[in-house]
Amino acid sequence: MAFLNKKEDVIDFQLTQYGKYLVSQGRFKPVYYAFYDDDIIYDQRYVTGSGLEEQKDIENRILENTPSLDAQYLFHSVDNLGMQDQFSRSNDAAERANWDWHQAHRNKLQQIPEKHYVLTSPLATSDLTSDKAPSFDIFFKEGNIKNVELVISGSDDESLPIQKIPQIYLEDVKFLVSVRNVAEEPAGTSTVFSDGTYFHVKRNQVLFRVTEENTLLEQDEFDVEAYVLDENNKIQHPLHFQKKPEMVRDGILLDDPARHLGLHGEPQVDDVEYFFDIFIDGDVDEATE
């Protein structure tokens, strides 16, 4: 670790160990950047033993007298092999071994310190005409809220720090299955058995609208992530969304897009679609909105 020479260097760019892994696999494709100010103290009154300072002194201290460090990309000991286990968040070796890592290159995880303890609060953009901070307005049309917490606590999962990220817990989504007879009600697309009965599934779902307020950004600014949790709500591993097949490649219409991508249309055990479907924005049926 060294100090950045502001007279010669403008920016210092480093890859984390996970970033180097992505480069080695040809999968390092950054799509956005963020700015942070975690190395700046705006008001020294919050530093033990310091007093009030004037605005002109604050500006000069930050711009001229605050040293900047070179980019740090490693936040755990290289001797700690447990921290370098990128294939599971679990500390139980037997638990990790039972998971089907048939596509391990898709499931390799970023180390916990770099993912959850570093650069967690990027600078945001607020609406200059409003005196309110950016916020979310969430309206549930289907689904019931069971509990709400203002933070995500590390006491629930030792791999996570306490962060000011609201947690909304919903009641379980259940499918009701009953046996019916085609003589009483058509089966539709259900399989009918020889005695004329079939399984009728009453599907349930969660439907909600999320709107970001008091900000100038009006584009799609939401990220959706899915994880598998154990019985103690600890993260075991992330799930992946299947890539939508390309219909046209190099100006040629593909006869079977899934076959060209090697997906065969069937979700794998580490895909979100293996467990449930998530529809967003234009994918949601207008009749249900």
Give the ranges where 10-107 is alpha helix by DSSP (H). 17-24, 55-64, 93-97, 104-107
Q: What is the pLDDT of residues 9-34, one digit of tens each?
A: 878 888 888 888 888 888 888 888 88
Q: Are 40 and 66 in contact (CB under 8 A)?
A: yes
For residue 37, name the pLDDT band (cuts at 50, 70, 90).
confident
Comparing 31 with 48, the larger pLDDT belongs to 31
Give the ranges where 28-166 is alpha helix by DSSP (H). 55-64, 93-97, 104-107, 112-116
% pLDDT > 70, the chain: 76
Q: What is the pLDDT of residues 53-101, one digit of tens each?
A: 888 888 888 888 888 888 888 877 766 555 455 554 455 555 555 544 4
What is the residue type of 4?
L
Tokens representing 5?
């020479």
- Distance from C-alpha of 46 to C-alpha of 174, rounded to nearest angstrom: 50
pTM for this model (two decimals): 0.58
Q: What is the pLDDT of residues 185-223, one digit of tens each?
A: 888 878 899 999 999 888 888 999 888 888 876 666 678
Sign of CA dihedral 87, 280, 204, 148: positive
